[in-house]
Amino acid sequence: MKLVEEFLSIQGEGIFAGRLAYFIRFAGCNFSCYGFGVVKSKNNKTLIGCDTLRAVYTNEFSDEYKEFETGITIQKIKSFKHKPMIVITGGEPLIHQENPKFIELLEYLVKNEYLVQFETNASICLKEYDFYKNCYFAMGVKLANSKMPKEKRIKYEAINSILKLSKQAFFKVVLDKADLEDNQELFELRNAYKDANFYLMPKGATNDELRANAKSVLEFAIKNGFNYTDRIHIRIYDDLEGV
């Protein structure tokens, strides 16, 4: 199980936005959302994907990863004077859910009463682990703008398992100005989960892109009765990684 990075920062999005947070980013994803259009070059190859594409293109970025060691990460977490929330992210962290190191980490965090939040694309069913009952899930279900096939990205069985087995889960959906015209999938999702919390988030891996989309997405959210979440880390750090 490979670690892309771990760092102390502030949760920039969703229901815990603004909260002191320790991010643990695992390598690997079952999607490759090239529709988000972030372009990076690595070893003379041009890669297109999302703002965490270095966690997704595992072959190309393997030289930047470390083997994840649960004990080392726990020592780092224990060293903080003020307990941060813990964000388990990727890539798609749930592809590792059967790895013993993943299980050991989650058992420790829950036993020691850390607030744990997963960031997931909500396409993988949760295993029936007890620790999930104490974890929060941001379900970043991908819409057509991700350019992934619909049957792969909207998995009701996986969403249902997260809603059933977690402490609390909410939807976090990325949109840009253009998507506001054609948003049938978003309303289909809300119709299927009328009681769930939906947060709309402007697309953008840079401050300029965020600025171009934020106002339209916010106004669309207000008009249609959705919540809105900004992306604090991009506002402050632009596209700097590891912050």
Question: Can you tell me the distance from the alpha carbon of 95 to that of 215, in angstroms, rounded to the nearest whole number?
Answer: 34
29 near ligand SF4 (CB under 6 A): yes
Which region, judged by CB under 6 A, interacts with ligand SF4, from 45-53, 64-72, 101-109, 188-196?
A: 45-53
Smallest distance from ligand SF4 to CB 211, Å: 20
Smallest distance from ligand SF4 to CB 205, Å: 11
Closest CA to 224 of 176, 186, 185: 186
- Name the CA radius of gyration of the chain, rounded: 17
> Rounded to whole angstroms, what are the CA distances from 14 to 86, 114, 216, 229, 231?
14, 18, 18, 6, 8
33 near ligand SF4 (CB under 6 A): yes
93 near ligand SF4 (CB under 6 A): no
88 near ligand SF4 (CB under 6 A): no
56 near ligand SF4 (CB under 6 A): yes
139 near ligand SF4 (CB under 6 A): no
5 near ligand SF4 (CB under 6 A): no
Smallest distance from ligand SF4 to CB 222, Å: 25
4 near ligand SF4 (CB under 6 A): no
- Quote the Cα angle for 150-155-158, to 5°: 160
Q: Are strands 20-26 and 2-10 parallel, antiparallel or unpaired?
A: antiparallel
Contact at 8 Å (CB) between 233 and 201? no
Smallest distance from ligand SF4 to CB 88, Å: 13
> Rounded to whole angstroms, what are the CA distances from 170 to 77, 159, 192?
25, 10, 13
Greatest CA span in the chain, whole angstroms?
48
Nearer to ligand SF4, 30 or 134 (CB): 30
* Strand locations in 11-84 (E): 20-26, 38-42, 45-49, 66-67
Q: How many of the chain's residues bind ligand SF4 (CB under 6 A)? A: 14
Q: Which two tokens stand for residue 123?
A: 């396409």
Question: Can you tell me the distance from the alpha carbon of 53 to that of 50, in angstroms, rounded to the nearest whole number?
Answer: 5
Smallest distance from ligand SF4 to CB 117, Å: 15
14 near ligand SF4 (CB under 6 A): no
Encoded one letter per residue, x for contact with ligand SF4 by CB under 6 A and - for no contact, window 158-197 reads ----------------------------------------
31 near ligand SF4 (CB under 6 A): yes
121 near ligand SF4 (CB under 6 A): yes
Which residues lie near ligand SF4 (CB under 6 A)? 29, 31-33, 49-50, 52, 56, 90-92, 121, 142, 146
